[in-house]
Structure 1
Amino acid sequence: MTGTTPPAIACQHVWQVFGPNARKALDAALQRTGGDARAAAAQLREQGLIPAVQDATFEVGKGELFVIMGLSGSGKSTIIRCISQLLDATAGEIALDGENIVGASKQRLTQLRREKMGMVFQHFGLFPHMTVAENVAYPLRVQGVAKARRRERAQEVISLVGLEGREDAFPRELSGGQRQRVGIARSLAVNPDIWFLDEPFSALDPLIRRQLQDEFLKIQANLKKSIVFITHDIAEALKLADRIAIMRDGRIVQIGTPADIVLRPADDYVREFSRDVAKGAHARVRSVMRPVSDLPPGPDDPGLRPDMTLDEALAHCMELYQPVPVHDDSGAVIGAVNPVDLAAALQVESE
């Protein structure tokens, strides 16, 4: 991220090592290896320690939906717990809106969790003796918000997640998808700046999962929260993310847009993740766009936009052979695309 405004989240060289005297062992391993993170992690394993997160460095911009994905045991859930300080990171810096929260007091962390962070986990964690409205309003109750205002705000977010009419139902009377909507609404009740979601849809059946993904995107389009979303599902990551970080054995192996992951995988591990992905459904025109200067005189104009998928763009360019313009939302020409590049991007094969 660039600019004068600090990112919503900034992690610098974050480690999470499990085992006795982890910080001392990590410092010694880094010193012996000259700061080589892979070599240091190998030494820690030889000592019986578990380097669950290794030297993680990344930023999440304001309003960005940042997905962290990987297989079970890759460290993706551990890193979200470090950022939210549910776990004390062994080493590194974690800043929220420019404030380094590593070593922050318990009182400050409690304040941040109540006022700045929203969290949704795979297991709903609803209070069975409370109604939907009472569950959603509970974080406001903890803050000491007046009852009338709690009910008003709960109704706002219940409507946002599509549960109108179920305010007085109990969790046992709801489907799994409805209970997860309650969890999402509860996390939004305090209007957090930063939203953490740890595999929130993975326990749901595929149809309900797709429906909630669509609803989630609508909510994000409206609220523009800064989000860290954890998943093990490449299709879910590609559908939701502005950018994706892929983790393997505690390391981040690639960070990029969905088009980067699909069209330019960093290694065989990432390539295997995206091997069965329909590239044309996820990569966008902007990923193959050229400068305006590449346009020939009097080009054909099929009406391309930078956020079109490659499949959509090709459908507009089937009989065209020269570069064509790409327009922004105002209609201004911002670049050029050669139909040959669209086709070539879809034919990328693993080496």
Structure 2
Amino acid sequence: MTQDSPLADNAAAPPPDDDTPAETKLSCKGLWKVFGADEDRARRVIQGHDGVIGRDALEREGFAAAVRNADIDVRTGEIFVVMGLSGSGKSTLIRCLSLLLQPTSGELIFDGRDLLGCSEKELIDIRRHKMGMVFQHFALLPHLTVLGNVAFPLEIQGVSRFDAEERAHKMIELVGLGGRETDYPSGLSGGQQQRVGIARSLATDPDLWLLDEPFSALDPLIRREMQDEFLKLQRMLGKTIIFITHDFDEAIRLADRIAIMHSGDIVQIGTPEDLVIRPANDYVRDFTADVTRAKVLSARSIMRPADEGTSFAGDVAPVDRVTDFAARAIETEAPLAVRGRSGRLLGQVDREAVIRVLAEAE
């Protein structure tokens, strides 16, 4: 990185904000998912190596690892994106986190509770009441209407039909399908079907929302619209979300933080900005090489200390991306103030710094 780069002075670590870190909602430590004829033996092999065993050594024992020694902490209210190429292990990981697949070894803590120590009955109750899931394939019940599909998980919980349908109506309105309650899935577009899937997953008001490539089967324009709707819902609901994708542009747009997986390993966890300007290794560097930097870099990264007595043209948040405020910064000679949530002045962003970022993109 050249000395002229707007990141040259602070690339090692961004300045701290004054925001209080969120508590951890879900964490896994040393999580493995191994496939083979005898999973109990696989567990003994892993534990016999203190949770650290190479891929080749494991294969010699007759096992294949889809998730290897994963450590993740998902914070309350954040969108945590897991991404990687096909076969990287991301879908297996989310199924382990939701216990749709039983992990081979490790620790899985949800709201301070060890899920791997729960009985099957307790796990079913947690999945029904605390977790919501949306998959790439909509999995709607074709013989039920939109209303029936959204109310279905509530009826499974034993909620009365009246209360279930009342809640379902609210969720259908929330995802923009009001008036389509009596339609069947076959009469809906792909985007509308996915909205029904989202409404259904939210009907139980889950604490943890898990989405496995929910928009990847949609056309690009509809996919963009669904991303917009997703962000709008998150601003309203503030859910803790784990979102799986293989699309880095989608991850950049949605994520608070991203975990990149490769061959079952989590190779780096960080903000989109961290991954682009501080890649952990060559794999991450290559993975992010084509990213437009203005979409990723934040006001925090390009700001400088505020000058005494400066008259500002407006405010930006430290996490705002350059693309969000570039036009404002370029149209005025006065700098923009970078302020934390409490309103404390953290620094300023000048037109010149923004122009340099845009020039690097070109």
TM-score of the two chains, using structure 2 as the length reference: 0.86
With over 3 angstroms needed to count, the CA separation of the structure-2 counterparts of 1:225 and 1:311, relative to structure 1, is: closer
Alpha-carbon deviations, 1:128-158, whole Å to 9, x = none?
1111100110011111111111110010000
The equivalent residue for 2:226 is 212
Say if 1:296 and 1:323, in contact at 8 Å, map to a contact too: no
Hey, what does 1:335 align to over in structure 2? 347
Equivalent residue number for residue 303 of structure 1: 314
Give the superposition deviation at 1:40.
2.5
* Structure 1 counterpart SS, 2:102: coil
| 1:183-194 paired onto structure 2 within 5 Å | 183-194=197-208
- Higher RCO, Cα 8 Å, sep 6+: 2
CA gap 1:344/1:44 in 2 versus in 1, 3 angstroms: farther
When residues 321 and 43 of structure 1 are mapped into structure 2, their CA distance, relative to the original with a 3 A threshold, is farther
Q: Could you tell me whether the CA contact under 8 Å between 2:330 and 2:355 is conserved in 1?
A: no
Name the counterpart of 1:21.
Answer: 38
Question: 5+ residue gaps in structure 1?
Answer: none
Q: 2:34 aligns to what SS in structure 1? A: strand
Aligned to 2:168: 154
Displacement after TM superposition at 1:228 (Å):
0.6
Matching residue's letter, 2:45:
A
- Structure-to-structure mapping, 1:198-347, within 5 angstroms: 198-290=212-304, 294-299=305-310, 301-305=312-316, 306-318=318-330, 325-328=337-340, 331-337=343-349, 342=354
Match of residue 89, structure 1, among 99, 103, 108: 103
Is the counterpart of residue 104 in structure 1 residue 118 in structure 2?
yes
Q: Distance in 2 between matches of 1:30 and 1:99?
A: 22
CA distance 1:240–1:19, change in 2 (3 Å): same
AA aligned opposite 1:14: L
Equivalent-residue separation in structure 1 for 2:47 and 2:122 (angstroms) = 31
Q: Which runs of 5+ in 2 are unaligned?
A: 1-18
Instruction: Output the CA distance in 1 between the equivalents of 2:271 and 2:125.
Output: 33
Question: Could you tell me whether the CA contact under 8 Å between 1:304 and 1:313 is conserved in 2?
Answer: no
Question: Matched residues in 1 for 2:358 and 2:71: separation?
Answer: 31
Backbone CA RMSD of aligned residues: 2.7
Contact 1:69 1:231 in 2 (8 A): yes
- Normalised to the residue count of structure 1, the TM-score between the two structures is 0.88
CA distance in 1, matches of 2:324, 2:151: 43
| Deviation of the 1:298 alpha carbon | 3.3
Give the letter for the 1:234 counterpart.
F
Aligned partner of residue 54 in structure 2, secondary structure: helix
Give the SS at the match of 1:144. Answer: coil
Identical aligned residues as a percent: 50
Is contact 2:30–2:105 with CA below 8 Å preserved after alignment?
yes
CA displacement 1:271-313 (0-9 Å, x = unmatched): 22222221102321123445xxx33333453434123322455
Aligned position for 2:88: 74
Give the deviation of 1:314 after TM superposition: 4.8
Distance 1:114 1:208 in 2: 29
Q: Which amino acid aligns with 1:301?
A: F
* SS across alignment from 1:74: coil
Instruction: Report matched runs for 1:27-38 at 5 Å.
Output: 27-28=44-45, 31=48, 37=52
Please say if residues 22 and 75 of structure 2, whose CA atoms lie closer than 8 Å, have aligned partners that are also in contact: no
Instruction: Choose which of 11, 25, 35 in structure 1 pairs with 2:28.
Output: 11
Structure 1 contact 295–323 (Cα < 8 Å) conserved: no
Report which stretch shifted further, 197-206 or 43-52: 43-52
- 1:153 & 1:224 partners in 2: Cα distance? 18
Query: Which range moved further: 234-243 or 312-321?
Result: 312-321
Once residues 342 and 320 of structure 2 are traced to their aligned partners in structure 1, the CA distance between those partners, rounded to angstroms, is: 15
Distance 1:333 1:29, change over 3 A: closer
Q: Partner residue of 2:7?
A: none
Indicate how the Cα distance of structure 1 residues 14 and 3 shifts in structure 2: closer, same or farther if over 3 A, else same.
Answer: farther
Q: Does 1:123 align with 2:134?
A: no
2 CA distance for matches of 1:159 and 1:242? 27
Q: What is the CA–CA distance in structure 2 between the aligned matches of 1:223 and 1:324, rounded to whole Å?
A: 30
Match of 2:282, as an amino acid? Answer: D
Q: Do the aligned residues in 1 keep the contact of 2:312 with 2:335 (CA within 8 Å)?
A: no
Pick the aligned partner of 2:64 from 50, 54, 63: 50
